[in-house]
Amino acid sequence: MPRVKKKLDLESEDWIGGSKWRKEIEDTIQETQSLKERCRQNAVAMWHPEGPPRDPNVARHLVREACLAPWRFRMELVKGGGMLETPPLGKGVTLWWGKIKPPAWKSRLPLPLLRDMTTLQTTKQIQSYTRGCRLVAARLNRAGDQVNQKMRALMKQRESSDRVLSIVRRGILINQQCKKLRSYRPPSEKVPDQVDELLEKERQLLLNLKKKLEQDLGISESVVKDLAKCRSSLESCCQQRLLVVEFLNKCLEDVLGTARRKSWLYLSRAPTPWAEINATPPPSPVGTYTPECAVALEMARQLYSKAHDVLRQLVRNQALVQSQQEATFKKVNQNLAQKMEETMFLKELLNVSSGLMRGTINRNERFKRDLERTQGIVQGPATVNYLEIREKLTRPMVRVYQRHVGTQLPEATRLGQASQCLDKFLTHTNQDLVELHAAQKNLKSCMRDKQLGYNVDYATLRLRQHQNHRHMTYEAAQRLVQD
């Protein structure tokens, strides 16, 4: 008969061997099972991270369902009554047949392709850093170009403002020459007039305009120096960023076109919604956008806006200075021309008066000669040549008549009275002639003064028109004054 094998239990009492021997076997078996379980867990843990410890009070199938819940597809209701199943987000292999997407497992062991993978990651990191440096360098280059353009525009405007300042200084010099030239007028023509007032107002206006332009040029000079310093720092930072882009052969302008960083491409760009989408990266000492680059760009942005304001102020003040100076110059010239017309009109009036004065003097001289002739006739003969004149008081008829007593004739008295009257009129005529000659001399002097005043005003007007020509410089005007 075959022997029937008896099934034994470790805890039964049918064992023949000793308990110590059996205990050793049990320990060996348990150690083997624990070692196998630990090796299995370690092998599994090499491919995915260890999960949270399982709660012994929760059933195994509930733990499994809780673990699989995030892996299952999401059900969304679509317009029209249908259902749309979408896998969960994240990395991993999507199992469409099971409607599940477990997370990607990660190996904790270095795989055979570790070296290639590390090389690829290093290459990607280097390429990313190099592209970032190239983008920052392109941005710095663009900022440097914009700063350079603004500086050139400011320097060009400074040259224009300097020319206007030279014109203003030349106007001050012309004003001084006009005042000095008008001081050579005769004393009668030095009566203060509107031309003198306008010349003084023009001088004060030109001094104020000169001060304003000098202040603007001083401010613009400091801004140009700051822009030059900022341009040098931008170029230095750009060259420093370009040290690592030797293997990238793309143009910097194309980099700016494809970077889609509209928020920090242009210094003059106004804030736009792109600034929130493509914000400027934070500066990092070991990154592509270093603090030095950030400081240089921020300085460039501030100086660009400041230079823009200074440029607008220069243009506005230059136009204001030119308009005010031209208006004042034209007004002074018009008053000078009007003063010359008034002088010539007064000279013509004096000429007419002088002509009338000459006629009056001639008439008075003829009257004086007639009086002298009449006086000679009334007084009688003055020499023996006139003895035959019958009006002599000792003529024979008068002597015969005066032989009787009381026979006096009034002829002598009347002749004496007539002689006195003629002497009186002759004296008045002489006085009138003296006054007429003095008046005639005064008229000639006034006419000469008017002519001199007209000549001085004409020379002043010619001087202003000649030295205010656009080809006349301040240095040339100074040489003319010195000569």
Which pLDDT value is given to residue 457? 79
How confident is the model over 229-288, as pLDDT tens digits?
999 999 999 999 999 888 787 777 777 777 666 556 567 666 555 555 566 778 888 888
Nearby residues of 139 by Cβ (< 8 Å), 6 or more positions away: 256, 261, 264, 265, 297
- What whole-number distance in Å separates Cα of residue 374 and Cα of residue 80? 146
CB of 340 closer than 8 Å to CB of 183: no
Round to whole Å and give the CA distance between 478 and 293.
Answer: 50
How many CA atoms lie within 13 Å of 371's alpha carbon, on the beta-carbon side? 19
CA dist 113 and 116 (Å) reads: 5
Phi/psi at 95 (5° precision): -100, 95
| Cα separation, 286 vs 132, whole angstroms | 12
**Interatomic CA distance for residues 60 and 54, integer angstroms:** 9
Where do the structural domains in the chain lie, given as residue ranges? 121-267+282-328, 349-381+390-480
Strand partners, 7: none
The pLDDT of residue 239: 92
pLDDT at 228: 94
| CATH code at 121-267+282-328 | 1.20.140
The total of other beta-carbon atoms located within 10 Å of residue 362's CB is: 11
**Distance, CA of 111 to CA of 283 (rounded, Å):** 37
Task: Judge contact between 367 and 426, C-beta under 8 A.
Answer: no
Closest CA to 452 of 128, 188, 163: 188
Per-residue pLDDT of 90-131, as tens digits, reads 887 888 888 888 877 777 777 788 889 889 999 999 998 998
Contacts made by residues 336-343, CB under 8 angstroms, sequence distance 24+: 336/195, 336/457, 336/460, 336/461, 336/464, 337/461, 339/193, 339/194, 339/195, 339/457, 340/454, 340/457, 340/458, 340/461, 343/189, 343/450, 343/453, 343/454, 343/457
The whole-number pLDDT of residue 277 equals 54
pLDDT at 159: 92
| CA 185, 190, 194, 200 torsion-angle sign | positive
Q: Would you state the torsion angle of the CA atoms of residues 157, 158, 162, 167, taken in this order, to the nearest 10 degrees?
A: 20
Q: Residue length, the chain?
A: 483
pTM of the model: 0.65
Q: Which residues in the chain come in under a pLDDT of 50?
A: 1-2, 4, 387
